[in-house]
Structure 1
Amino acid sequence: MLTTALAPALWGTTYLTTTTFLPDDRPLLAATLRALPAGVLLLVVCRQLPLGEWWWKSWILGVLNIGAFFALLFIAAYRLPGGVAAIVGGVQPLIVALLASRLLHERLTTRIVAAGMTGVLGVGLIALQAQARLDAIGILAAVGGTLSMATGIVLSKKWGQPAAPLTMTAWHLITGGLTLLIVMLTFEGPPTTPLTPSNLGGYAYLSIVGTAFAYVMWFPGIARLPASTTAFLGLLSPVVAILLGWAVAGEVFTPMQMLASSLC
């Protein structure tokens, strides 16, 4: 559980990295450069391709866990206040618990539902601000990303892992990254201005540490832990994001937010 928890903790650094180091208004570029280089790196290391039905299964899981999730995550991050996106993401454990009860026959207990509601409350108290301005596209992106990741978690658990975690991570990142590349070239196009050293450093961190390393920690947890337990660990992401904003970016951290962190 501790090693699995490293993944959402690292994902919590995405917002600060994006706002500090990455160019503005390029969510699909950010998603592509986060996924595809990490997948190529891991594939070079593991040197194993999918076999049989795992070609299409890897593609589906890659789109759900990486491609669609990353794209929608960055779109929501660019268009919504962090609090709104965090609250939508905080609903994910409840969605996973419901899907797992149907597809994996995991028990949907009162304790799990209560814990999920507490997590949503904690995330909301941490991040939602009174001046939050809602954006329809951002809300749809946040909801879509939450549903995509939740479905990916449950299907990853249901289908199992026919190869080592490093290999599985490579397959998901490659298939998700290639899908993102096609979407990015279609809707955003390639970068029109040269990337700065700061941009390249931000992309490198997100790809190597926030993606390759994080997902190598994440997928073994999906295999070994109940799906609902894995989903609840995802609540660490907005908590880490808020703590970094307070410690690094100088954002105000109120007593109410400190109390809310303990709920998560």
Structure 2
Amino acid sequence: MTLAFPASLRDTLLTALAPLIWGSTYWVTSQWLPPDRPFTAALLRVLPAGLLLLGWTRCWPARASWGRLLGVSVLNIGVFQALLFVAAYRLPGGVAAILGATQPLMVLGWVWLLEQRRPRWPVALAAWLGVGGMATLLYAPGTAWDGVGVAAAAGGAAAMALGCYLTQRWQGVGLPVLALTGWQLTLGGLCLLPLAWRLEPALPPLSVGQGLAYGYLSLCGALLAYALWFRGIRRLPAVAVSSLGLLSPLCAALLGAYWLGQTLHGWALLGWLITLGSVLAVQLASRGTRR
């Protein structure tokens, strides 16, 4: 006997795997990667995966779509990955990327600003619930954070929100999902190359564990996760996909509590539960909408 899942539920579950994988970034970065090299980590995460996908798909974008492709690549990969690793190096796993809670609201804001389409109140209310949940987790007593790390997390969320919206609005610039993923990872990685080259020292000889950590971040955290993410952008409302991104800090909080001994109780646990409830509420409230 086999279980048949509705297509929308299957798409949601597959898309949710991407932020769950991304949630492990903070633990892997803090425990396994060489210190103080956020741009190098971002570069080695995305560029090898992008080149691998380009070699596999061998699909070129239309000449007229290059500008749009470069734009979403910079937002989704270049800016987001750079700021993600700055946050990952400066914040503990339980609070890293917590300002990603504003991302669903940012998507609604872009739709309202660029399309004059007012958000439905249940979707907006559920998105605000996510902000409240993550704020509770952020301001829980004893939570450690710094201004630069939080600013990086907020900037990354803003870039990803706009990139998510534009990728859907432009219908993936006419490329199949794997080709779109490969081109974005490659172009975004090339944007990171001068930052890593000029601003950070060369990598020392890597241990086996560090090499495996970079490999995990590239193959799982970039190639697999972004392919699932861009697939979801094509099949689900943009605000629903963006809301699933909150699973990343929730996963990071669990990994931090289990592996790093970071506490998750009291107000922090309440914030975690509220945020998870907001993710589920956005999925339900946004059904039947495109954005």
Q: Does TM, normalized by the shorter one, top 0.5?
A: yes
List per-residue Cα deviations over 1:65-96 (Å, max 9, x = no partner): 01110001111222245565433211111111
Partner of 2:264: 253
2:101 pairs with 1:111: no
Q: Greater CA deviation, 219-228 or 79-88?
A: 79-88
Corresponding residue to 1:20 among 14, 20, 31: 31
| Distance in 2, Cα, partners of 1:119 & 1:260 | 9
Assess, with a 3 A threshold, how the Cα gap between structure 1 residues 30 and 128 changes in structure 2: closer, same or farther. Answer: farther
Give runs of aligned pairs for residues 12-51 of structure 1, distance below 5 A.
Answer: 12-51=23-62
List per-residue Cα deviations over 1:190-248 (Å, max 9, x = no partner): 32x21221111111001100110011111011112111111111111111111112233
Partner of 1:216: 227
| Distance in 1, Cα, partners of 2:118 & 2:212 | 44
Give runs of aligned pairs for residues 81-230 of structure 1, distance below 5 A.
Answer: 81-82=92-93, 85-104=96-115, 106-132=117-143, 135-161=146-172, 162-191=174-203, 193-230=204-241
Cα drift, residue 41 of structure 1: 1.1
Cα drift, residue 142 of structure 1: 2.2
- Percent identity, aligned pairs only? 43
| Distance in 2, Cα, partners of 1:241 & 1:172 | 25
Assess, with a 3 A threshold, how the Cα gap between structure 1 residues 96 and 253 changes in structure 2: closer, same or farther. Answer: same
Corresponding residue to 1:72 among 75, 83, 97: 83
Uncovered stretches (5+) of structure 2, i.e. residues with no partner: 1-11, 276-291
TM-score (norm 1): 0.92
Q: Greater CA deviation, 24-33 or 143-152?
A: 143-152
TM-score (norm 2): 0.84
| Distance in 2, Cα, partners of 1:155 & 1:62 | 11
| Distance in 2, Cα, partners of 1:127 & 1:138 | 12
Cα drift, residue 139 of structure 1: 3.5
Q: Which amino acid aligns with 2:178?
A: L
Corresponding residue to 1:62 among 73, 77, 80: 73
| Distance in 1, Cα, partners of 2:94 & 2:253 | 10
Q: Which amino acid aligns with 1:21?
A: W
Instruction: Please say if residues 106 and 161 of structure 2, whose CA atoms lie closer than 8 Å, have aligned partners that are also in contact.
Output: yes
Instruction: Please say if residues 24 and 252 of structure 2, whose CA atoms lie closer than 8 Å, have aligned partners that are also in contact.
Output: yes
Instruction: Please say if residues 95 and 253 of structure 2, whose CA atoms lie closer than 8 Å, have aligned partners that are also in contact.
Output: no
Across the aligned residues of Structure 1 and Structure 2, the Cα RMSD in angstroms comes to 1.9
Cα drift, residue 120 of structure 1: 1.4
Uncovered stretches (5+) of structure 1, i.e. residues with no partner: none
Q: Which amino acid aligns with 1:170?
A: G
Cα drift, residue 257 of structure 1: 3.5
| Distance in 1, Cα, partners of 2:236 & 2:62 | 25
| Distance in 2, Cα, partners of 1:133 & 1:127 | 8
Q: Greater CA deviation, 122-131 or 229-238?
A: 122-131
Instruction: Please say if residues 103 and 242 of structure 2, whose CA atoms lie closer than 8 Å, have aligned partners that are also in contact.
Output: yes
| Distance in 1, Cα, partners of 2:155 & 2:81 | 11
Partner of 1:10: 21
Instruction: Please say if residues 178 and 227 of structure 2, whose CA atoms lie closer than 8 Å, have aligned partners that are also in contact.
Output: yes
Q: Which amino acid aligns with 1:257?
A: A
Query: How many pairs align?
Result: 263
Assess, with a 3 A threshold, how the Cα gap between structure 1 residues 163 and 4 changes in structure 2: closer, same or farther. Answer: same
Instruction: Please say if residues 43 and 189 of structure 2, whose CA atoms lie closer than 8 Å, have aligned partners that are also in contact.
Output: yes
